[in-house]
Chains A and B, each alone.
Chain A
């Protein structure tokens, strides 16, 4: 069974730009969650989508948004990038809240 895939793996953007990250979950998984990982804050929950609906949300500003398609693939968008948005963005899929399976992440650098 193929694992969670994320594209692109690396991105370099400048302040003020926007970025879209993509995540393909494990086949059959309808829940997709997004996390931001930084050395200082660790792993922080952004939001979770289930059956194309945002089901849960963390404490991030509205510049961070996402969506999920009918095939469960998900995208995350960050608008008006700030230097502090530089991080590893991780996507995780699961059948439910037990045992989330993570992708390799997208390393975003904001200059």
Chain B
């Protein structure tokens, strides 16, 4: 069964304290891995798509990397406005049907 596990469930950082979020997955034939940010009461906001091991994408203080079994979202010198839940999803094929399988997210809090 296709699974996505994110760790930690919650993370508290001080402003400027860099860290990484982990997304490990088991899927038969990865077709894409996606990172989203979700603020309370809002829909997820698309951040990155990664397709193959070794690929990296960057956007402001965020950098996503991908290996054959996991992806990391590195946050460099975070600010309070980076506080949100970060979701990881993989594109999987099951029974001839394609779908996105989401992890349960990492809730990030950045204190000033």
Contact = CB atoms under 8 A, between A and B. Distances in A.
Q: Which range holds the interface residue count of chain B? A: 20 to 34
Contacts of B104: 42
A45 B101 contact: yes
B59 to A, nearest CB: 13
A27 B104 CA distance: 30
A98 interface: yes
B77 to A, nearest CB: 26
Interface string B23-44: 0000000011010100001111
Contacts of B44: 43, 90, 102
Contacts of B60: none
Nearest to B99: A45
Contacts of B97: 56-58
Contact of A42 (B34, B41, B91, B105): B105
Interface of A: 4, 33, 35, 42-45, 48, 55-58, 90, 92, 97-105
